[in-house]
Structure 1
Amino acid sequence: MAPKILSSSMLLVFVTFLYMVVVSGQFSKFSKLDLPPEALGPESAAFRGLIITEGPFTTIRDGRILKWQGANVGFVDFAYTTPTRTKQFCDGTTDPEKGPICGRPLALSFRLTTGLLYIADAFHGLLVVGPNGGLATQLAGGFKFAAGLDVDLLTGNVYFIDASLTYDIRNTTQPGFKPDSTGRFLRYNPFTRQVSVLLSGLAGGGGPAVSKDGTFVLVPELTGRRISKYWLVGPKANRAEILLNTVGNPNKIKRAERIGEFWVAVSVGSQPPAALITPKGLRISSNGDVLQTVSFATQFFNKTISLVQEHDGKLYVGSRGTSFIGVYSN
């Protein structure tokens, strides 16, 4: 009996170790998905489909939403957010003053059951586009700086952030820029078509993430360097609590593939500006425990990152300052 007990124990240790390696690997293998020529700033990524998936879809600085069609084709145009956009005037631009004309989509989220793609555009607010792409339809406008969003998998409600009531995205790179605490966390109900303010006084933007069971939303404050947990159901419904204070500026939060876990894109030294920016991904639990930290400092040297999206065991990393999406695997 003793050898069997020893063997079972060793097997348990080995399986546990193997599980930790597979789930929590260091994502040391790197590749990239290159954008079309002159395109920059893939700040978001989303995949479409429940079983067979398409994508990633991504946003870029010249106002386009692109779709990855495989290594042989690369990225192709999929959607755009404003009827004033023309390819001749906008394609390849990095001029922030063209944003109101060309669009400046910052975040994407699919409602998987319908194939509808919801978009947060810094200038044009909340929009949606159908499965075939093209010109998106504005659902709610009048925001100063729509920064991030996520769709509730169960209800279809869209949760998004307006980063400020006083400044827009163009102001953030101007000399002497000082962020404020006038951001808001909002909900759009697709059935009533109404927008509700859930939280106000937020310090900066970023992208929220709804839990898979629809019980809460994680809300980042980029310049406030913290993440709140806003409860949707239960005894704490409609209330928020501080979940995690971060060393660095948290941008978009995305659901991890393991239930109850999330990935947060963090840039240490972004706000206030430091001599060297360190980008990293944090895998956190729904209780705010940091389960894993992955550094992206080699491939994204001294650059801020806006996104860490897990898909099929890989991490897709987006940045305002690159011409590619970084792909990390084990």
Structure 2
Amino acid sequence: MPISRRVLTPVAAVPVILAVVTFFFWSWIIGPEEIKGSKHILQLAKTIPLPGAAGPESLDFDPNGEGPYVGVTDGRILKWRGEELGWVEFAYTSPHRGNCSSDKVVPSCGRPLGLSFHKKTGDLYICDGYFGVMKVGPEGGLAELVVSEVDGRKIMFANQMDIDEEEDAFYFNDSSDKYHFGDVFYVSLSGEKTGRVIRYDMKKKEAKVIMDKLHLPNGLTLSKDGSFVVTCESGTFTLHRIWVKGPKAGTNEVFGKVHKGLMDNIRRTPTGDFWVALHCKLTLFTDVVFIHPWVGKFFMKTLNMETIVYLSNGGKPHGVAVKVSGETGEILEILEDSEGTTMKYVSEVYERDDGKIWFGSVFWPAVWVLDTSVVYDRK
């Protein structure tokens, strides 16, 4: 056999071998990482579909305990009226309703994200990923703009908020002063620290940045006593504690680390701990992306958004909820639907004092409710 043929034959076989390996092991190569010690129970939750709507990213209940209310992709706020009445339209963030899509974000329609009711007034405050922070009264309808800029810079990506009713103030994340919600994965991949945490004085109508230079601050909540704010810096897997009252007011520190996946919203539990929603677990793709910002920027230029989402969740949309101590920031419990049998793209975890936990999703056309008293009795 000529030397050239002896050399080329094994070389020519390499693509074939790679193709075979990729075919059989692709899901293992890109799949989400295993979380040790997690409880695989989220698949037992009840699914409540949203006909004709998708992406109930955040949810809240009104002062009368009715709801939940959820913000969806087409810019509306929907209210759950129970099994018999189902979902009804409550409010919307933009008067431009003609070209709104149920499954694709249209900037002119807005994108309601974090929701928080003011319990004293019944007003619903809305973080819109395009317009800023808005509110609508107890009767619903078209929301009005509350704050759209701070320090002369436009609020591009209002994400989640919480209200301190004693101080007549609220806190919220502007996840990026460069990108809107539609580019959320680019915010994550770029490594740019353009996010900030803002305090808004409702009496003085004044906004003030209390922490900045953050890489995609996503979720935000107040502690039970209102002494500090916790913000989830998704790009660094870090929970920051920002002291807003007491002797440490005006300072901040690392509260904890949730290096299990990409963090979304955070909600306080009735006992004062916190639930952090993970949009997805870590994968080989996310491990590579977060090596250095230039790696993420390379993928921004070479991959479309659908591919980025697919690789980020390892080709298997799933659901994860992480419970964190309200005192120490330590991880207390992790719940999963690792196969995505029931839950997918979990964006918020909301525990009520009746033992039920509600779950929102940034993409999926459903919310879920888990009755912990029933589930844990099975264990």
- TM (norm. structure 1) is 0.84
Task: Find out whether 1:291 has 2:332 as its counterpart.
Answer: yes
Task: Find out whether 1:318 has 2:325 as its counterpart.
Answer: no
Counterpart CA distance in 1 for 2:317 and 2:45 is 20
Counterpart CA distance in 1 for 2:211 and 2:187 is 29
Task: Find out whether 1:36 has 2:43 as its counterpart.
Answer: no
Aligned residues: CA RMSD: 2.4
Quote how far apart the aligned CAs of 1:177 are.
Answer: 5.0
Note if contact 2:45-2:342 (Cα within 8 Å) is conserved in structure 1. Answer: no
Aligned with 1:131 (options 138, 144, 150): 138
Aligned with 1:77 (options 82, 89, 107): 89
1:12-51 matches, within 5 Å, as 29-37=44-52, 39-49=53-63
1:102-121 matches, within 5 Å, as 102-121=109-128
Note if contact 1:34-1:74 (Cα within 8 Å) is conserved in structure 2. Answer: no
Quote how far apart the aligned CAs of 1:255 are.
Answer: 0.9
Residues 204-213 or 174-183, more deviating: 174-183
Counterpart CA distance in 1 for 2:185 and 2:226 is 36
- Percent same amino acid at aligned positions? 34
- The answer to which structure has the higher helix fraction is 2
- The answer to which structure has the higher strand fraction is 1
Q: Which has the higher contact order (CA 8 A, sep 6+)?
A: 2
Task: Find out whether 1:279 has 2:319 as its counterpart.
Answer: yes
Residues 227-236 or 58-67, more deviating: 227-236
Q: Which residue matches 1:56?
A: 68
Quote how far apart the aligned CAs of 1:91 are.
Answer: 4.9
Count of residue correspondences:
298
Note if contact 2:318-2:346 (Cα within 8 Å) is conserved in structure 1. Answer: no
Counterpart CA distance in 2 for 1:45 and 1:175 is 23
Q: Give the counterpart letter for 2:349 in structure 1.
A: V
Q: Which residue matches 2:104?
A: 95
Pair 243,175 (structure 1): closer, same or farther in 2 beyond 3 Å: closer
Aligned with 1:250 (options 258, 263, 269): 263
Note if contact 2:188-2:235 (Cα within 8 Å) is conserved in structure 1. Answer: no
- TM (norm. structure 2) is 0.73
Quote how far apart the aligned CAs of 1:240 are.
Answer: 0.8
Q: What SS does the aligned partner of 1:306 have?
A: strand
Gaps of 5+ in 1: 1-23
Q: Which residue matches 1:219?
A: 231
Residues 271-280 or 119-128, more deviating: 271-280
Pair 299,40 (structure 1): closer, same or farther in 2 beyond 3 Å: same
Counterpart CA distance in 2 for 1:122 and 1:186 is 15
1:123-202 matches, within 5 Å, as 123-141=130-148, 142-173=154-185, 177-202=189-214
Note if contact 1:243-1:288 (Cα within 8 Å) is conserved in structure 2. Answer: yes
Pair 296,199 (structure 1): closer, same or farther in 2 beyond 3 Å: same
Pair 222,301 (structure 1): closer, same or farther in 2 beyond 3 Å: farther
Q: What SS does the aligned partner of 1:71 have?
A: coil
Counterpart CA distance in 1 for 2:131 and 2:282 is 29
Q: Give the counterpart letter for 1:249 in structure 2.
A: L
Deviation sequence 1:43-66 (CA, Å, 0-9, x none)? 0000112xx411000011111110
Residues 136-145 or 289-298, more deviating: 289-298
Q: What SS does the aligned partner of 1:89 have?
A: coil
Which is greater in Rg? 2
Task: Find out whether 1:232 has 2:274 as its counterpart.
Answer: no
Pair 300,168 (structure 1): closer, same or farther in 2 beyond 3 Å: farther
Note if contact 1:48-1:112 (Cα within 8 Å) is conserved in structure 2. Answer: yes
Q: Give the counterpart letter for 1:34 in structure 2.
A: P
Q: Give the counterpart letter for 1:40 in structure 2.
A: A
Q: What SS does the aligned partner of 1:223 have?
A: helix
Counterpart CA distance in 2 for 1:216 and 1:176 is 25
Pair 155,62 (structure 1): closer, same or farther in 2 beyond 3 Å: same
1:257-272 matches, within 5 Å, as 257-258=270-271, 260-266=272-278, 267-269=280-282, 271=286, 272=289
Q: What SS does the aligned partner of 2:67 have?
A: strand
